[in-house]
Amino acid sequence: MKERAQRAIAACRQIARMSEEPGRITRRFLTPPVHDVHELLRSRMESLGMTVRTDSAGNLRGLWQPDGARSQRLVLGSHIDTVPNAGAFDGVLGVALALEWARLAQELKLPLTIEVIAFSEEEGVRFGVPFIGSRAVAGRFDPALLGLKDADGVTLADSIRTFGLEPHKIDEAALDADVLGFVEIHIEQGPVLESEGLSVAAVTAIVGQTRLTAEFRGQANHSGTTPMRLRRDALAGAAEWISAVETLARQTEGLIATVGKIDAEPNAANVIAGVARVSLDVRHADDASRKAAVESLLALAYVIAEKRGLTLEIARQMDQPAVPMDERLTARLADAIEAAGLPEKLMTSGAGHDAMVMAARVPTTMLFLRSPGGISHHPDESVLEEDIEAALNVGRRFLQRLAAEVG
């Protein structure tokens, strides 16, 4: 498996050089570097004897159907777009390993039909909406999205046309019912596996997520002449609430809550802030626990605002329920981990993935790989060759078991 692992890592490194920005990995939905990625992956798919096509959402798709195999297929894949100044492995590794799994199936002569999909968009960077590629494949693409504009005023529809595709045919990207399931291989993007000394894990669910903005409004005034007792300091109110957010998250099992963005006005060193806008990102694998935490935090925000003579406005941007992975497919993956001689590890994903969209259409599961240092969405993102080998050994056993069941 060493040679296969090295080949997958080399592919990720090669694709990392296909970027919009010199010296940085930035690759947004259907920008020119995506053509280069498609050319490389198309060549690899064709070398495996796959029938290759690009659907109208820009997803590159390779299909392998050996003689005598059922038409019902296993779908493997992940995304090839990135955040700005990204690492080399987020998403792309899942595509490189999907091709290696397909190669294993061929060499083992398994009667499995396999489709590998390199999803065109997952991060939501260019148009502000994530999962454009997997939405189309899952039959959940909203045509209204075609009117979205990027920072240069280019519409989503025009970006598709410029890439040489036809936006009015996006519906044709949807999977039919002839699918065994979908497996996404992905780096964990967190520190859990490394903290436990583990290479891989089977994902049981993708956590639910609430995102909102809280805007505290007070009165801007001179910092040197306004007594402390007479202030209506919006930033101080926001700061009190931020501390409360962290406290609740630390006290609640499984809860992740983050304030990652603050905008203060007028944002001057000698002026009391009249406005403070802060983000809130709350995640939990249990929707009831997540919703209860959000309501508790909002109630506390209103209490803080009233105490300090502030007004408060809440704007919700996202309320995404938790997405459980398919129990049978996840159990098969966990069995394959154990059969590969590795400790069986089940865990939830704190980040969103194409798998959460695909799960609405077909049975879906995920295999996580260790992220050294817990680092992702950063140039220092890395993988260990031994973990890639572990994922390949798991893949061999997973594919063998699946082929035996459906053969």
Do 255 and 290 meet the contact criterion of CB atoms below 8 Å apart? yes
Per residue of the chain (407 residues), what is the pLDDT tens digit? 789 999 999 999 999 999 999 999 999 999 999 999 999 999 999 999 999 999 999 999 999 999 877 889 999 999 999 999 999 999 999 999 999 999 999 999 999 999 999 999 999 999 988 999 999 999 999 999 999 999 999 999 999 999 999 999 999 999 988 899 999 999 999 999 999 999 999 999 999 999 999 999 999 999 999 999 999 999 999 999 999 999 999 999 999 999 999 999 999 999 999 999 999 999 999 999 999 999 999 999 999 999 999 999 999 988 989 999 999 999 999 999 999 999 999 999 998 899 999 999 999 999 999 999 999 999 999 999 999 999 999 999 999 999 988 76
Q: Residue 121's pLDDT is what?
A: 97
Look at residue 40 and give its three-state secondary structure.
helix
Q: Residue 382's pLDDT is what?
A: 97
Look at residue 20 and give its three-state secondary structure.
coil
Closest CA to 77 of 48, 115, 124: 115
Q: Residue 407's pLDDT is what?
A: 66
The distance from CA 17 to its chain's CA centroid, rounded to whole angstroms, is 21
Q: How far apart are CA 343 and CA 79, in angstroms?
A: 28
Closest CA to 92 of 69, 63, 123: 123
What are the distances in angstroms from CA 211 to CA 126, 133, 161, 214, 403? 19, 22, 32, 10, 41
The one-letter code for the residue type at 253 is E
198-377-1-206 Cα dihedral, nearest 10 degrees: 60
Residue 64, strand partner residues: 114
Q: How far apart are CA 122 and CA 104, in angstroms?
A: 27
Do 264 and 215 meet the contact criterion of CB atoms below 8 Å apart? no
Q: How far apart are CA 97 and CA 296, in angstroms?
A: 42
Q: Residue 317's pLDDT is what?
A: 86
HSE, CB side, 13 Å, CA atoms: give it for residue 144.
Answer: 2
Closest CA to 212 of 273, 258, 256, 265: 258
Do 214 and 277 meet the contact criterion of CB atoms below 8 Å apart? yes
Domains in the chain, start-ordered, CATH in brackets? 2-207+322-406 (3.40.630.10), 208-320 (3.30.70.360)
